[in-house]
Amino acid sequence: MKAKNLLIILYVSVMALISSRCANEDGITYSVTDVSSRITGFSNSKTGPGAQLTINGTQLQHAQRIFIGNEVILARNFVSQTESAITFNVPATVGVRTDGTLTDVLVAFPGSERAFAKIEVVPLQAVSSFTPYSAAAGEIITLFGVNFDLVTAVKLGDVTATITSQSATQLKFTMPSGAPTGKITLVGTAGNTTSAENLVSCTATPGGDCLAGVNLNASFELGTGDNFDNWSKFNGGNYMVQTSVASEVFRGSRALKVVRDGSLASGEWRIQLASDLIDTEAGASYTVYMWAKASTAGGSLRVSTNPDAKYTGNQNVTTQWQRLAFTFSPAAGNAIATTSTRVVLDFNGNNTAVTTFFIDDVKLIKN
């Protein structure tokens, strides 16, 4: 029995020694050789969860791991490592502070060598959405998200854009000349972030949503009050107003807002906006494109023509911006039959659905 107890005591002692050695290896619980002079600075004065950060200095090529707050980044996960710099991604789970308190950074080298520094870890800017999704040089892009007050520059590829307005949750910039199609990069004091989706440059990638329509005032920018130049309210005019709220506008500064209260009888035509007459080729194929979203799902809309009364099917409108397409063609059996045609937007589909439509950038394009 005594022998067994002695073995247990010996085992516990060995494990305690191993645990102590592990703790020592992390540079936390025992005396270390302070080599903090190897760190000369950071690529940014602040950082944030998910940001890429570079530690600059000397003799950094042998660093084995980096601690930032309570998080650790192993050498195998470094983005790059040289004698003078280590680049790594800050863990998304790192704690952030908004009161200016600095977070400890520890760089662990072989043996007992440890370098210590501090950096401010703050919430990082992030894009939740933007409009429009395509733009020509000079057009205004609106970003929605958080922490935009940290942004110091906006870039598309290597081209820097001009910021025209900026708050914590909304940022506007002008599409720069020569910008490529690609993700939007936000440069900030805490690091750079990018949008999840590409912004299409109409200069670099012409076609698609970049094509101009044959109708006038497709973007609803022109008009006074709740009226729109080159468009007429045929039915249910009181349900159609203009909006200049940034989250309700897809392109530019003004859009059409259709407020449906569910009180109208069935008939898509009961809320109806019509363009001025447009020169068209009878029998040719045309598509009406528009950007649309709804406050609540459930309603639908269609497009018809006047005076020849051709119709498309209804399409449901979701709560996210989507580009809807309505085609008139011989193959579909609804080809435009006149040489002077109005595009008519019929908004009362699923008439009992209570919702609000936001409509922008309505274009008639010849296929």
Mean pLDDT within 236-248: 96
pLDDT at 234 over 80: yes
Q: For residue 297, what pLDDT is reported?
A: 97
Mean pLDDT within 214-229: 95
Give the span between the Cα atoms of 180 and 156, in whole angstroms: 6
Mean pLDDT of all residues in the chain?
A: 91
Q: Where in the chain is the domain with CATH 2.60.40.10?
A: 32-121, 126-204
Q: For residue 30, what pLDDT is reported?
A: 62
Q: For residue 29, what pLDDT is reported?
A: 53
Q: For residue 20, what pLDDT is reported?
A: 42
Mean pLDDT within 78-105: 94
- 65-68, long-range: CB within 8 Å, 24+ apart, which pairs? 65/107, 65/108, 66/105, 66/106, 66/107, 66/108, 67/26, 67/104, 67/105, 67/106, 67/107, 67/108, 68/94, 68/103, 68/104, 68/105, 68/119, 68/121
Query: Phi/psi at 210 (nearest 5 deg)?
Result: -80, -15
**Beta-bridge partner residues of 134:** 200
Range scoring the smallest mean pLDDT among 9-13, 115-119, 251-255, 314-318 = 9-13
Range scoring the smallest mean pLDDT among 158-167, 183-192, 270-279, 325-334 = 183-192
pLDDT at 107 over 60: yes
Q: For residue 50, what pLDDT is reported?
A: 85
pLDDT band at 320 (very low <50, low <70, confident <90, very high): very high
Q: Quickly count: other Cβ atoms within 10 Å of residue 295's Cβ.
A: 16
**More confident: 197 or 366:** 366
Q: For residue 267, what pLDDT is reported?
A: 97
**More confident: 363 or 5:** 363
Q: For residue 72, what pLDDT is reported?
A: 97
pLDDT at 76 over 50: yes
- Beta strands 33-34; 113-121: pairing state: parallel
Give the span between the Cα atoms of 170 and 74, in whole angstroms: 36
Alpha-helix residue ranges (DSSP H) falling in the chain: 2-25
Mean pLDDT within 212-229: 95
Residue 315 · residue 326 · CB < 8 Å: yes
The CATH number of 126-204 is 2.60.40.10
Q: For residue 248, what pLDDT is reported?
A: 96
Phi-psi region of 361 (alpha: psi -120 to 50; beta: other; left: phi over 0): left
Mean pLDDT within 122-143: 92
Homologous superfamily of the 32-121 domain (CATH): Immunoglobulins (2.60.40.10)
Mean pLDDT within 208-228: 94
pLDDT at 69 over 50: yes
- Beta strands 113-121; 71-74: pairing state: unpaired
pLDDT at 356 over 90: yes
pLDDT at 310 over 80: yes
The CATH number of 211-366 is 2.60.120.260
DSSP symbols for 172-234: EEEPPTTPPSEEEEEEETTEEEEEEEEEEETTTS-SGGGSPPSSS-TT--S-STT--TTEEEE
Mean pLDDT within 77-104: 94
